[in-house]
Structure 1
Amino acid sequence: MISNSDLLYLLMSRKPWHSLPQPFYNDSEVFDADLRNIWQRDWIFAAPSAELPKTGSYITLEIGTASVILVRGADRVIRAFHNSCRHRGSRICSAHKGTAPKLVCPYHQWTYDLDGKLLWAREMGDDFDPSAHGLGLVHCREVSGMVFICLAEHAPDTRTLEAHAARYLGPHDLANLKIAHQSSIIEQANWKLVLENNRECYHCSGSHPSLCVTFPDDPNLVGADDSTTSNMGRAHVDRCEAAGLPSKYVIDPLERWRFVRIPFLGKGVSYTLDGKAAVAKRVGHVPFDDAGSCLFFHYPNSWNHFLSDHVLTFRVLPVGPQQTQVTTTWLVHKDAEEGRDYDLKRLTEVWINTNDEDRRIVEENQRGINSPAYLPGPYSRAQEGGVNQFVDWYCRTLHTALMGPHQIAAE
């Protein structure tokens, strides 16, 4: 296993405003260090709560070697557990999602309630205590209709995030939407390359013809800096704020998350090929159709778009040193009917195209980085501020974890 000192040396060798040294993108031991020091310590976006609509609804997630079950209990609370039976460790749920009245291990039928309590274990003797063998609990929190989990023993404070999410995401009423479509793809690239690609639109005009119909590729709108440095962004924020729709740029002091509302191009109101609304029913209590998109980023694994007519969530999970799962979920008003209020192809085609284009981009990026000729290159200060901000966050977070006990300051 790579030593902390070797990792610190690699971190210190990175030049400011440059990409990372090669091992950070393809080395299996560095990937394992990422899992230990970031993915198993911080909050991870797991799912929109609408993906668990009723009692017994569950999904499973794989975060490296960690398997997690999320399930909605009879009390309507969503909880998360380690997907490992307390008998001999078998995975309890192998399906990605489903509905079950109880959680039953397929190996020896140990049976757990939806709150994790062990209900039944056959022939374990009179001295066996079921209360001592409940499922291992994983920190789980619903934040304005988005469910986050944390694998650490002590989870970071989320109070400030929750307060801002209530203001920025609350008007979209995510908890009362429904899933219209979900896609999941495996990209043959390191998870950091997936995030880096998302954090800039330097590539958009040449790679994303569908997206660029309505999405502005102005780096002052979509980069790391306050969108009000753009005249168009400032006017849009002022208009939304005047209507009671929180829109001003806000970022976590530790730069793990940020919110900002940006406009669409021209008269566009949604991610569609004609710029018109994809769904007839407006979500939540957004005051007008051309509210643009509220962008919510949360490191290490999520970016999200909150529109007036639908919501898009994106979840990134690490599969291997050069494999990443990207799951996209389209959510619409709970009363919207397919075929009447929206056409599924029209709703999804822009981001299905964009996701596939991004998959090809990051896979070619990975292949080039694997070359012995790769050397870290400089970022464009005009176009790639968002990439640099993400990579700086990654380096600081990993450095802090390697230097001693992981302590994330209270927000």
Structure 2
Amino acid sequence: MANAPVDPTALAASLRPHGESVMLPQAAYTDPAVLAWERRNFFAGTWTCLGRAEELAAGTTHFATTVGDIGVLLTFSDKPRAFANTCRHRGHELLPQGDSSERRAVVCPYHGWSYDLDGAVKAAPRMGDTFDPSPYGLTELPTEVWQGWLFVNALGTAPPFSEHVGGLEDLVAPYRPEALTLKARHSYDVASNWKTIVENYHECYHCPLIHPELCKVSPPTSGDNWNLPGAWVGGLMDLRPDAETMSLDGKSHGIPLPGVDPRTVNYVGLFPNLLISLHPDYVMTHRLEPRTPRLTAIECSWYFPAEVDDPSYAVDFWDITNREDWSACESVQRGADSPHFRPGPLAPAEDAVYQWVTMLARGYLGKSLTQ
């Protein structure tokens, strides 16, 4: 892939050893050309999370979305599939972006070509008796359902998903998120670059100043970060001795998840857009979608055992914490827009941010995300 429109000399400064490096250059957070490159190469070109597979399939057989900058048609029959949202006759969109259908066939509205949900041509009207439709099935794109979430590689050129997820598999699997039930969801529009939001997520250097509620139940200097294979970053933090989970009073009003550490919370970010927070009694995710260099849509979801009736103890805590984070990220964005902005250094405790920044810098330079 072509290198990103980011100064390679500035990226070299971000790739220096931790303790000598600085953050990404200003263009990475403000330049529309950089975001356009990211949409094609980071979002369409790797494995983007579209949400929970069972939720996406509910009430539909197929619908149209965009992954990065590429139109994608998802179909649901024996399994989820993804196809280029492009008719093989003349290229017309099969469905407009955001539209869905419950029909058992995908029908192009231009000339009436139709396709089975597995992508094979079902009918090609008035093409003549000798026409063979078999070479003209929809262009299928790689998909993967992992821990209940659906991922799509819209370019079709990414390394295998197993390589992408790497060592994260063993950390997430004990929580069995695919067996948990969605109990709450909040949507936020944050006036900040998507990468700033991820950087904020991966450090608690800021916690003593802006998260008093969090610091009451989890020491901001606790825990450690992992350095395992895969295109992801993450670490864990401890709960205080009198806390059972992340809630305003530290108490859990849910059900402990069997087989997980009851004294830690794990915070992991799977590139490019899924943040997974693993608690002793629930799983929370943030799914990010950049809209502009300065605006990110965030879908925050809380998953619990089905028996839990009231998730508010966790939702209330994290809604407060989320909004504290969003305010900080928006201030960082305003600062990044200043003509006086210069990339700053990283504190020793910001080693997960260092991993994230160097992953991005390698990607901008056309190198592997997972090395």
- State the TM-score, normalizing by the size of structure 1: 0.76
Output one character per residue of 1:177-222: Cα deviation in whole Å (capped at 9) or x when no partner.
Answer: 222222332222222212111121122232233433434321x52x
Aligned CA distance change for structure 1 residues 5 and 82 (closer, same or farther; 3 Å) = closer
Distance, in Å, in 2 between the alignment partners of 1:328 and 1:96 is: 22
1:145 aligned partner? 148
Aligned CA distance change for structure 1 residues 293 and 102 (closer, same or farther; 3 Å) = farther
2:303 aligned partner? 331
In terms of mean alpha carbon deviation, does 301-310 or 120-129 score higher?
Answer: 120-129
2:41 aligned partner? 37
Is 1:320 paired with 2:285? no
Is 1:135 paired with 2:138? yes
SS state at 1:201 partner = coil
Aligned CA distance change for structure 1 residues 387 and 270 (closer, same or farther; 3 Å) = same
Aligned CA distance change for structure 1 residues 287 and 201 (closer, same or farther; 3 Å) = closer
SS state at 1:142 partner = strand
Is 1:79 paired with 2:81? yes
Contact 2:288-2:297 at 8 Å conserved across structures = yes
2:190 aligned partner? 187
What amino acid is the match of 1:117?
A
Output one character per residue of 1:301-355: Cα deviation in whole Å (capped at 9) or x when no partner.
Answer: 222012232211222222222222222121122x32xxxx332433412222222
* 1:259 shift after superposition: 5.8
Is 1:199 paired with 2:202? yes
Contact 1:64-1:318 at 8 Å conserved across structures = no
1:268 aligned partner? 243
Aligned CA distance change for structure 1 residues 108 and 377 (closer, same or farther; 3 Å) = same
1:299 aligned partner? 271
Equivalent pairs counted in the alignment come to 365
Distance, in Å, in 2 between the alignment partners of 1:385 and 1:369 is: 21
Distance, in Å, in 2 between the alignment partners of 1:78 and 1:291 is: 36
* 1:4 shift after superposition: 6.2
Aligned CA distance change for structure 1 residues 359 and 266 (closer, same or farther; 3 Å) = same
* 1:162 shift after superposition: 5.9
What amino acid is the match of 1:286?
G
Distance, in Å, in 2 between the alignment partners of 1:55 and 1:163 is: 33
2:358 aligned partner? 392
* 1:156 shift after superposition: 0.8
1:256 aligned partner? 231
2:335 aligned partner? 368
Distance, in Å, in 1 between the alignment partners of 2:309 and 2:215 is: 21
Q: How is 1:211-290 mapped onto 2 (pairs within 5 angstroms)?
A: 211-218=214-221, 221=223, 226-227=224-225, 249=226, 251-252=228-229, 256-258=231-233, 260-280=235-255, 282-283=256-257, 285-286=258-259, 290=262
Distance, in Å, in 2 between the alignment partners of 1:69 and 1:165 is: 28
Q: Which runs of 5+ in 2 are unaligned?
A: none
Distance, in Å, in 1 between the alignment partners of 2:49 and 2:101 is: 19
1:177 aligned partner? 180
Q: Which runs of 5+ in 1 are unaligned?
A: 228-248, 402-406
Aligned CA distance change for structure 1 residues 119 and 210 (closer, same or farther; 3 Å) = farther
Contact 1:306-1:312 at 8 Å conserved across structures = yes
Aligned CA distance change for structure 1 residues 215 and 71 (closer, same or farther; 3 Å) = farther
Distance, in Å, in 2 between the alignment partners of 1:387 and 1:97 is: 38
Aligned CA distance change for structure 1 residues 60 and 5 (closer, same or farther; 3 Å) = closer
- State the TM-score, normalizing by the size of structure 2: 0.83
1:11 aligned partner? 11
Distance, in Å, in 2 between the alignment partners of 1:57 and 1:211 is: 42
1:377 aligned partner? 344
The percentage of aligned residue pairs carrying the same residue is 28
Aligned CA distance change for structure 1 residues 400 and 250 (closer, same or farther; 3 Å) = same
Aligned CA distance change for structure 1 residues 162 and 385 (closer, same or farther; 3 Å) = closer
Distance, in Å, in 1 between the alignment partners of 2:273 and 2:301 is: 14
Distance, in Å, in 2 between the alignment partners of 1:205 and 1:98 is: 49
Output one character per residue of 1:210-247: Cα deviation in whole Å (capped at 9) or x when no partner.
Answer: 433434321x52xxxx45xxxxxxxxxxxxxxxxxxxx
Distance, in Å, in 1 between the alignment partners of 2:45 and 2:231 is: 13
